[in-house]
Amino acid sequence: MKRVVSVSIGSSKRNASAEVELLGEKFVLERVGTDGSFEKAIELIKQLDADPEVAAIGLGGIDLYLYAAGRRYTIRDALKLAAAAKQTPVVDGSGLKHTLERKVVADLDGEIGWKGRKVVMTSAVDRFGMAEALWEHGAEMVFGDIIFGLGLPIPIRTLRGLRLLARALLPVFTKLPFTWLYPTGEKQEKQIQDWRRKYYDWADVVAGDFLYIKRFMPDQIPGKIVLTNTTTSADVEMLRERGAAMLITTTPRLNGRSFGTNVMEALFVALAGRFPLSERDYLEYIDKLGLGPNVTRFDGQS
């Protein structure tokens, strides 16, 4: 049985494992957190690289590449992690994310009706495909990268503005220590409720990275749709308790949680037996596996 392992610099409290059989092959999908330690992550990747059962490794809690405004940016700290593997493919989910999340928005347009919906994305430069798709389907957008990332009350309301931001800041930000940019380890559990809650109150839909969404989430989000990924059963229950109307995860749920796109991308690489994969390859495997979003309505239907 092949193993697909996500090594995350996030909290070990979110570890998970699931066995699946796809296209006649059996896989164990695993997520292992290192509680913010890059050193532990590097050592674990080295160990997995030496294990013949490990077909592919995912990077969790950090992106290796950001695809934004037609360009690809490499995060320096993530490159150090990927370099720890000498023979096993290492992926971060960015290629699949750029393809799958765009497709999910399009596929759900008939059900959700994005046109005119007020959408706040807590961070958009790391999910440019989702951001572009929501904009193209007529949503009224607030891209919150400066609001939630830098703590400055500067909403970006156009795709052109987001593109300008990405081209101005990403060449610099991708070279900074990653811990300056994104919460890792125990910091992921910290909740911040301040002036930024007004953007949750304004929005019909809250979209983006779930840890960022949760970090700034008010105690109550009545009637909101949450469009995200990588949620645990505890996360689902929290959203139910806070009054959310719907949770959409862009990957299917396995054993009570949606695994990150880095896990799913690593799974595709393991199935294909080659690396790297093209956008056409991703779309082919999405079709072959019948992958689609998981929609949970908090009226008891799913």
Domain 2-94+259-292 has CATH 2.60.120: no
| Selected residue with higher pLDDT from 256 and 105 | 105
Give the predicted TM-score (pTM) of the model.
Answer: 0.92
The tens digit of pLDDT for each residue in 140-151 reads 999 999 999 999
Which residues contact residue 115 at a Cβ distance below 8 angstroms, ignoring those fewer than 6 apart? Answer: 137, 138, 139
97-253 shares the fold of 2-94+259-292: yes
**Half-sphere exposure of 121 toward its Cβ, with a 13 Å CA cutoff?**
26
- Taking alpha carbons only, the member of 224, 230, 268 closest to residue 249 is 230
Q: Please tell me the predicted confidence (pLDDT) of residue 183.
A: 75
Instruction: State the average pLDDT for the chain.
Output: 93
Domain ranges of the chain: 2-94+259-292, 97-253
Domain 97-253 has CATH 2.60.120: no
Q: Residue 301's pLDDT band (boundaries 50, 70, 90)?
A: very low
